[in-house]
Structure formats: C-alpha cells, structure tokens
A and B are shown apart, each in its own frame.
Chain A
Amino acid sequence: QVRLVQSGAEVKKPGASVKVSCKASGYTFTSNHMHWVRQAPGQGLEWMGIVHADGSGPRYAQKFQGRVSMTRDTSTSTVFMDLSSLGSEDTAMYYCARDGSNMSPYAMDVWGPGTTVSVSS
C-alpha cells in the first residue's frame, strides 16, 4: 500500500536549520508531486511548497521564499524539506503529503505521519 514515512522529531535552537525527510513506497515515486504542509500549535494547516513529479523546480509559498529548500532523491524515493533561520514561530508539525495527480488531482491524497519540529533556546 502507499506509505509515507517521515524522519523523527527534531529540537533546534533559534537561527538553526532543520532537514525533514519523507520516504515514499507502494507507488511509482516519479508519478506524483509531493507537498509539504505544516501545522503550528493551535493553528490551521499551512501549505509550504511542492516538489514536482517531473523534477522541475519546486515551488514555495511566498512566506517561506528564501529560507526553504525542497529536494528529492529518486534513487531512494525520498523528498526532503530544509528550513533555515528557524524561529519559535516555526515550532510545528511538518507533514509531507502526496498529490493525488491522476486519481485526485490538486488534492493531497496520502499523508505522512508528521514530524515534530520544536524551536527553543
């Protein structure tokens, strides 16, 4: 079955960077885009960006431009989200979510379990 497995919880100090991974299995990795979404405590979901299935340049939400980088490794079916210059406002649960592509386009049909990132001095 389709599965997304994310890396473990992270604790970072302000100003540091964090890299979260998301390993996909159960489908053809290069057939679907992958989104990154986060949820801060007490807040709603927030779209961060997308890694395209065809390997073309990722697209980021304007809010994160300049301090986020999303990449993929097709050899391991893994996508990565790198967020720099962390502040307390980046404390959140970070999810990878597969774009439904042909089945449910423009929607996120499979989600990873989430990775907790805590930023504290």
Chain B
Amino acid sequence: QSALTQPASVSGSPGQSITISCTGTSSDVGSYNLVSWYQHHPGKAPKLMIYEGSKRPSGVSNRFSGSKSGNTASLTISGLQAEDEADYCCCSFAGGTTWVFGGGTKLTVL
C-alpha cells in the first residue's frame, strides 16, 4: 500500500486561505469518502480535524473544511492564524480493514 501524496510544505499569511491536497488512487481515496485529516504539532499527539472527507468533529473551527474530487482529497484552512502552523496529514480507508496515511504537509504561517 503506497502512501498518499501530499505537498511537503505550504505557506500563507495570516487571514489568507490555503489548501492542502492529498492524492491517492482508485483503491483508496477514489473508492471511499473516508478521508480524515490530522493536525500535528511537534511533540504532541495528532488531532482529528476532518473525518468522512468533510465533517468536523465537535470543537474544531469551521475555518477548516474538507472536500474530494476523484482520487484527490483537499483540506482548506481559511482565515489563517498563527496557531494553525503545524504538520497536516491525510488518511484514507483503503479497503480490507486497512488504512493509509499521506506523507504530511508542513504549514508555515508567514
């Protein structure tokens, strides 16, 4: 199972919007609307931000949104804030009770 493909880094200024892509295959992202996104600050445990492609858990800001088109899922963060600076990782159900993560994207808030 190959890892999902994410850009290594993205950046944006406070108040701007950024989008992080997550490209898989027809066996994972393309087959299931079961992509989740995690925010990961160094030294801390990852935090679930989006599940089932576009749903937000309770307590997650509505500045975070998710979408999917074909084999590519996307995470958009609007109104960037300094505390959004972190690594973001996507994950997809891949069938057969297996999951696959992306390589992670480092978000820098300029």
Contacts and interface: CB of A to CB of B under 8 A. Distances in A.
Interface string B19-48: 000000000000010101010100001111
A100 B48 contact: yes
A80 interface: no
Q: Kindly state the interface size class of chain B when it binds its partner.
A: 20 to 34
Contacts of B46: 37, 45, 95, 97, 108, 111
A16 interface: no
A8 interface: no
Interface of B: 1, 3, 6, 32, 34, 36, 38, 40, 45-48, 51-52, 55, 57, 89, 91, 93, 96-104
19 contacts: A44-B102, A44-B103, A45-B40, A46-B3, A47-B98, A47-B99, A47-B100, A61-B98, A95-B45, A97-B46, A104-B52, A105-B52, A106-B36, A106-B51, A106-B99, A107-B34, A107-B91, A108-B36, A109-B48
Interface of A: 35, 37, 43-47, 50, 52, 59, 61-63, 95, 97, 100, 103-109, 111-114
